[in-house]
Amino acid sequence: MLWERQAAAPENYPTYGRHDRAGCLSCGSTMEKRVVFKNRILPYILVAPQIAITVVFFIWPASQALVQSFLQEDAFGTSSAFVWFDNFVGIFTSPEYLHSFHVTLVFSISVAGLALSVALLLAVMADRALRSATVYKTLIIWPYAVAPVVAGVLWYFLFNPTVGMMAFFLKKVGVNWNHTLNGTQAMTLVIIAAAWREVSYNFLFFLAGLQSIPHSFIEAAAIDGAGPWRRFWTIVFPLLSPTMFFLIVVNIVYAFFDTFGVIHALTRGGPYYATNILVYKVFNDGFINLDLGGSAAQSVVLMIVVITLTVVQFRFIERKVHY
C-alpha cells in the first residue's frame, strides 16, 4: 500500500500510484465509471486547456528537439541539413560530454546515497521516539520547502573562501578550502547542498514506511530474543525495500534533473568542468554556446534517461520487489 501513496508526489518526479497504470494505462476498461453523462461537445471543451498546454509547451518542443537532433545548421543559421546520427556520434565521441556523463553519475549516486542513508537513520530513530516523533518530523521535513537554488546559496555562503565560516574553520584545521579552484571540493559541496534538501523528502517516506510495518512482527522477533540491530536488518529493512527502491529512483531523477539551481548557484559547472552535470551542460551549450544540434541531441539523450527511469519505476520496481 506504500505504492498507492505516490500519486501526489511533488511535480517533476515522474511518479504515480499503481492504480494509474493498472486502472487505466494497461487495462483501461476495468476501472471505468458505470454512470456517465452524455454530451457531444462538453468533454472536449473540458480537456481542451490541459491538452492545449500539453501540446504547445510539451509535445511540440520535444518533437522539435527530436527533429533538430538530426539536423545541422550552418554557421549563420540560414540553412540546415539532415545529418542522420552525426550529432549523436558527435556528443558520444566528445570527451567533454563523456566527462559530463561521468560527473553526473558520480554526483547522482553520491546524492542518492547520502540523502538516503541520513534519512533512513533519522527515520528509524524518529520511529523509535514514539510520542515525540511528530515534533521531530516537523523539525526535519521543512528543508524540503527550500528551493534547490536557495540551498545552493546557503551552502555557498557557509563555504565561501572569503566570508564563509566553514571554510575558515577548515583552514584552521589545515584543509585549504577553496571550491572555486579545487574540483573535488566543489563536487563535495554540490553533493552536500543537493542532498541536504532531499533528506527531508526521503525521511517522510521512510517514516511512513516504518509506521506501516505491523508492530506484531517486531514484538514476535523481540520475544524470540532478537535485539534491535538484528530486528532492523532481518525484519524492518526487507519490509522497507519497496520504499527504498522507489526512493532510489526518485533521488536519481532529482539529482539528474532538479539540481540545476544548486549547480548554477554554487559552481556553474566548474572549476574546469568538475561539476558540469548533463542538465547544466545542455543549458550551457544551448544558451551560452548556441550549439543547436548538439544541444538537441543532448536533450534527446536526457529524454531517454527520464523515460527509462520512469519505465523502471513502474515495470520493475513495483512488481518485482515485493515482500
Partner 1 sequence: MVEHRPVLTFVTHATLIMGALVLAFPIYVTFVASTHTLEEIAKSFPLLPGRHLIENYLQALTVGPQNVGATVGTMMLNSLVMALGITFGKITISLLAAFAIVYFRFRLRMVFFWMIFITLMLPVEVRILPTYKVAADLGMLDSRSGLIFPLIASATATFLFRQFFMTVPDELCEAHRIDGGSPMQFFFDILMPMSRTSIAALFVILFIYGWNQYLWPLLITSDEKYYTLLIGIKRMLDVGEGQAEWQIIMASTILAMLPPVLVVIFMQKQFVRGMTETEK
* Residues 162-191 within binding reach of partner 1 (CB under 8 A): 162-163, 165, 168
Which of 83, 105, 109, 154 contacts partner 1 by CB under 8 A? 154
Q: Which stretch binds partner 1 (CB under 8 A): 86-94, 97-105, 106-114, 137-145?
A: 137-145
Min. distance of Cβ 104 from partner 1 in angstroms? Answer: 12
Residue 35 or residue 75: which is nearer to partner 1 going by CB?
35
d(CA 107, CA 279): 12
Shortest distance, position 269 Cβ to partner 1, whole Å: 14
Closest listed residue to residue 187, CA positions, set 282, 102, 284: 102
Decide if residue 295 touches partner 1 (CB under 8 A): yes
Piece of the chain touching partner 1 by CB under 8 A; list 27-35, 86-94, 98-106, 232-240: 27-35
Of 306, 291, 252, whose CA–CA distance to 91 is shortest?
291
255: left (phi over 0), alpha (psi -120 to 50) or beta: alpha
- The residues near 196 (Cβ < 8 Å, ≥ 6 apart) are 143, 151, 155
- Nearest residue (CB) to partner 1, 309 versus 321: 309
Smaller CB separation from partner 1, 248 or 297: 297
Q: With the C-alpha atoms ordered 277, 279, 282, 288, is the resulting torsion angle positive or negative? A: negative
Out of 36, 75, 173, 288, the residue judged to bind partner 1 by CB under 8 A: 36
Nearer to partner 1, 64 or 94 (CB): 64
259-288 positions binding partner 1, by CB under 8 A:
260-261, 264-265, 279, 282-283, 286-287
Residues of this chain, 50-109, that bind partner 1 according to CB under 8 A: 50-51, 53-62, 64-65, 68
Q: Give me the least distance between CB of 2 and partner 1, in Å please.
A: 9
Identify the residue among 22, 83, 105, 158 touching partner 1 (CB under 8 A).
158
Which residue is associated with the grid cell 465509471? 33
Q: Which of residues 224-243 bind partner 1 (CB under 8 A)?
A: 228
How many of the other CB atoms lie within 10 Å of CB of 132?
11
CA distance 313 to 217: 28
Q: How far apart are CA 34 and CA 87, in angstroms?
A: 51
The amino acid occupying position 90 is G
Whole-number Å distance between alpha carbons of 253 and 302: 11
